[in-house]
Amino acid sequence: MTSKHFIALATIILFCAITVNHMAKSVLEKLFNGKHRQMEFVPIVDALGPESVAFDRLGDGPYTGVSDGRIIKWQENEQRWISFATTSPKREGCEGQHDHRETEQNCGRPLGICFSEATGDLYIADAYMGLLKVGPEGGLATRIATHAQGSPFKFINGLDINQSDGSIYFTDSSSLYQRRNYIPLILTGDKTGRLMKYEQESKQVTILLTNLSFPNGVALGKDGSFLLFAETTNCRIMRYWLTTSKAATLETFAQLPGFPDNIKRSPRGGFWVAMHSRRHMIISWILSYPQVGSALIKLLPIDIMKAYSVWSKCSGTGLAMRLSEDGEILETLEHKSGKTMRSMSEVQEKDGHLWIGSINMPFIGLYRI
């Protein structure tokens, strides 16, 4: 074993040890006092990672984007998934069992999805293909934007639609790192993410904010006076005012105990925020010294993403919180027993059910409230 291998191995062991220790301690935390609910699993065959969940204007679905680049639709009466849409015209070698991280650049990786109630079109934030839309019949989606004010997108991630004028608010998580490299994106403290707006009439993209640290999920407030977006690296939700005397200003809406992914409005009020994992002490430490993160990445002779997947197996579970319109915690959801939901990417609430997406699980979680 070379010294580099030894350092890599030692780092992983340290991550695991700290994580286990951290989990034992966190049992004492107040946040755990939510009701214990039984989760069901809706399996997905030959693909992983149902990242975002949406229902069409008839209430059918859910629809979700998965690791092989497809958007699939749940047929409730047949109890199975069918293929609905794709984001890339190249489909050769995309489907089937292999590591989709190696093909997602060509096959597409649909992340945030949202239906327009007026037209029935599905809008898709694809990490590699940009902003797309597809009609109610599905098929190959059309690209509607691939760059903003001359600079190309790198990692399109979350979106929400203003249902009355059709404008779309969406995030580009980084101008340097693609989705496959989201761990270095976090560890280097990258600040090149953007929040943008696409307008239906002009078909133009406007940049609203730059220099963001991994902007991710987006959700408009109920009255449209503000929008929220997750800033993943900083473990927080930001509020960007669209109207009122505070228009065009930014403030911290909520500080979280984990790395937030998508945000969805709840029909019972407030917002569901799904978290990839709890924020561990070691990561907090690395993030307070971004040069350490960069050095670690250069030093490690192994694929940092592979190391992370080993680490995530020994680390905790995904977590979600429902926050009020003022950023207070209303409810906490954490899956602690049985088949583990290792990470959560989205919680979509509909008719007393919580549909739970994840970036790396071969199923959607389903809770009946």
Ligand X SMILES: *[C@@H]1O[C@H](CO)[C@@H](O)[C@H](O)[C@H]1NC(C)=O
Find the shortest distance in angstroms from Cβ 171 to ligand X: 16
CB-wise, 11 or 210, nearer to ligand X?
A: 210
Give exposure, 104-127, as e/b (b: 16+ Cβ within 10 Å).
bbbbbbbbbbbbbeeeebbbbbbb
Task: Give the integer Cα–Cα distance in Å for 229 and 193.
Answer: 12
Find the shortest distance in angstroms from Cβ 352 to ligand X: 24
Torsion, CA 210, CA 216, CA 222, CA 224, rounded to 10: 20
Task: Give the integer Cα–Cα distance in Å for 94 and 76.
Answer: 26
**What three-state secondary structure class fits 176?**
coil
**Residue 220 binds to ligand X (criterion: CB under 6 A):** yes
CB-wise, 265 or 276, nearer to ligand X?
A: 265
- Mark the segment that binds ligand X (CB under 6 A) among 10-18, 38-46, 161-169, 287-295: 161-169
**What three-state secondary structure class fits 164?**
coil
**What three-state secondary structure class fits 295?**
helix
CB 335 within 8 Å of CB 365: yes
CB-wise, 73 or 133, nearer to ligand X?
A: 133
Find the shortest distance in angstroms from Cβ 213 to ligand X: 12
CB 321 within 8 Å of CB 263: no
CB-wise, 263 or 341, nearer to ligand X?
A: 263
CB-wise, 135 or 224, nearer to ligand X?
A: 224
CB-wise, 164 or 202, nearer to ligand X?
A: 164
Element (H, E) at 82: strand 80-86
Element (H, E) at 307: helix 304-314
**Residue 162 binds to ligand X (criterion: CB under 6 A):** yes
Residue 97 DSSP symbol = S
Task: Give the integer Cα–Cα distance in Å for 195 and 226.
Answer: 13
Q: Distances in Å between the alpha carbon of 322 and those of 23, 34, 169, 366?
A: 22, 11, 21, 16
Find the shortest distance in angstroms from Cβ 268 to ligand X: 18
φ, ψ (nearest 5 deg) of residue 2: -80, 165
Beta 236-241 vs 226-231: how paired, if at all? antiparallel
Find the shortest distance in angstroms from Cβ 269 to ligand X: 15
* Residue position matching structure tokens 């990445």: 297
- Mark the segment that binds ligand X (CB under 6 A) among 72-80, 97-105, 158-166, 259-267: 158-166
Find the shortest distance in angstroms from Cβ 195 to ligand X: 12
Amino acid sitting at position 176? L
CB-wise, 51 or 349, nearer to ligand X?
A: 349
Find the shortest distance in angstroms from Cβ 367 to ligand X: 27
The footprint of ligand X on this chain (CB under 6 A) covers a number of residues equal to 7
Smallest Cα–Cα separation from 319: which of 360, 361, 278?
A: 278
Find the shortest distance in angstroms from Cβ 146 to ligand X: 22
- 61-100 residues in contact with ligand X (CB under 6 A) are none
Residue facing ligand X at closest CB distance:
224
- Mark the segment that binds ligand X (CB under 6 A) among 4-12, 99-107, 160-168, 289-297: 160-168
211, 267, 298, 351: residue in contact with ligand X (rule CB under 6 A) = 211
CB-wise, 141 or 161, nearer to ligand X?
A: 161
CB-wise, 112 or 258, nearer to ligand X?
A: 112
Find the shortest distance in angstroms from Cβ 243 to ligand X: 7
CB 72 within 8 Å of CB 64: yes
Find the shortest distance in angstroms from Cβ 248 to ligand X: 12
**Residue 195 binds to ligand X (criterion: CB under 6 A):** no
CB-wise, 220 or 347, nearer to ligand X?
A: 220
Question: Tokens in use for 316?
Answer: 């905790």
11, 83, 105, 210: residue in contact with ligand X (rule CB under 6 A) = 210
* Residue position matching structure tokens 């489907």: 95
Q: Which residues bind ligand X (CB under 6 A)?
A: 162, 164-165, 210-211, 220, 224
